[in-house]
Chains A and B, each alone.
Chain A
């Protein structure tokens, strides 16, 4: 279970997240929506501590995963990231072969067992619905795949290290509609085994894939509710306005 308790986040002087509290259940898909610059990506990146890379940032409040504060000094960031996979906005495969892209996380962990790696690569590619398309060209460069295939490769790469949680930062925003629908189908299938948090610009996408939706605006979590309820009868007026397209 993921939990944020009264989280405030600053980029230098800029107050990016304001007092956010939220609980995310296991094996659900949660979507974050909101206008650009509302802080939804920043919030997502808190959970694998990706924001640590940006200099001059500050966090107050608590981020808990399974009851453990991940910003605690005792937490090993690399261990945390092995448990919390991430898929980025633009497909970002490594300049390596398809096989080596998937094997990367395993090799980083120090696993050298060839058969095991082989098996994990196949399994991950199957889970990401990519195996049939690439099984004959595992030794080819990942750059030879199409954008949609590359993004599914990145998902497979994240799955290979067996995380519990997968964060997706607008995973389909750079893709065509057919690739997008493949990714959405994939997210549906992955829900069984993983907790998925997805940031999206596309409200229809949020409505299609998620169980719960959080609406962010100007660094605040305006409304957080079941997706159905959110899109049919939102509690807040801002949510209503955003969903019906009056701004954003």
Chain B
């Protein structure tokens, strides 16, 4: 009998250990996968795979960076001297144009003259820049200079301000507007939610009557369970028009709308966690404060708040975490323009919203796909930083040191 019991205990123990191990390993693998996919971006060519940029050999240009390529193909730069070449007009040539210039007969039945014709065009036009599939580059390369394949650089990724992942031929992956958009929306959301949340927590824990508490607390906890898409819908239908009207804006879908919705969503978490922390202050602490002649309010801010500071900082971290990672509601109300916001009343695009909106249309394994994973890594690092900061803050407190 005893033996069987021991055996069962051992089996349960083994199952629990295995379960714990497997879960930890899976979490670790997910993180590794995220970073592996993300960092692949910096090994991707800045021009789409399988395509090349060619110029005439007489052109002294040796290389172009992705931003210059984009400007050239957007007709923003129309002279080679602007990118360090001769004073000569830039003539764009896209591969499709070949089929307008030549008839099917001229190109041959099986496109056998195709690369020859391409070569002719490039040789004949000194100012040309041609964007072609590498496989059609003529075997006879005289007169054609293929620009060297550059890789997407870390500096461009973090430093540039253009997020145009579908630009042809050189997609632009400047994440600065996305990072700033995320911070912008989150910081304002926390700035709104924190004072309100702590205020409500103090009210509920210390000031509200028993009856009020019994009604309010479950109601607030209920709010935490509302799906974010419902909040987003509410924001889109109610808040966005309201903001547009109130502040006389051209569009109501702004960072401010996102912040408001996020603040509303983060409030229940902040309130319940902070209130629990305050409620857990031992009665002995309150009595000690009151017995020394502190009034109710002094006891709250000199005894209860310092005592529950680690719980309150947990509330703050959970709130920020929710704000930074929240996707759906923000996607619905912020307008999603990937530009650096100058005021809170402009549309912004956040990192999670970008990932959610674009992952479906990014070809698996391509640069765009990898860039989205890189965004995931950035988001991950941001939340880790916040957690560490919170840990440090609450560790510096005598309460933690003592217990």
Contact = CB atoms under 8 A, between A and B. Distances in A.
Contacts of A78: 293-295
A90 B287 CA distance: 12
A157 B291 CA distance: 10
Contacts of B307: 94-95
A107 B299 CA distance: 12
A108 B302 contact: yes
A233 B295 CA distance: 45
Contacts of A161: 292-293
A105 B287 contact: no
A105 B403 CA distance: 23
Interface in B274-298: 282-295, 298
B397 interface: yes
Nearest to A92: B284
B108 interface: no
Interface string B354-373: 00000000000000000000
Nearest to B292: A105
Given A108-B298, A141-B402, A143-B398, A96 B306 contact: yes
Nearest to A163: B293
B342 interface: no
Task: Provide the main secondary structure of the chain B interface.
Answer: helix
Interface size class of B (residues with CB under 8 A): 20 to 34
Contacts of B291: 48, 50, 81, 85-86, 88, 158
Interface in A66-100: 78-79, 81-82, 85-86, 88, 90, 92-97
Interface residues of A, number: 31
Contacts of A157: 288, 292
B287 to A, nearest CB: 6
A88 B288 contact: yes
A9 interface: no
A109 interface: yes
A122 B137 CA distance: 90
In this complex, the member of B210, B283, B290 whose beta carbon has the largest number of chain A beta carbons within 10 angstroms is B290
A144 B398 CA distance: 10
A53 interface: yes
Given A141-B398, A141-B402, A144-B402, A94 B294 contact: no
A95 B399 contact: yes
B294 to A, nearest CB: 4
Contact of B402 (A81, A86, A105, A143): A143
B398 A95 contact: yes
Contacts of A158: 291-292
B6 interface: no
Interface in B255-286: 282-286
B312 to A, nearest CB: 13
Contacts of A12: none
Nearest to A55: B210
A43 interface: no
16 contacts: A48-B291, A50-B291, A78-B294, A81-B291, A85-B292, A86-B291, A92-B285, A94-B306, A95-B402, A104-B289, A105-B293, A141-B401, A143-B398, A154-B288, A157-B288, A158-B291
Given A93-B288, A108-B298, 20 more contacts: A53-B286, A53-B290, A81-B290, A82-B293, A85-B291, A86-B291, A88-B288, A92-B282, A92-B284, A94-B303, A94-B307, A108-B302, A141-B398, A142-B398, A142-B402, A143-B402, A144-B401, A154-B288, A157-B292, A161-B292
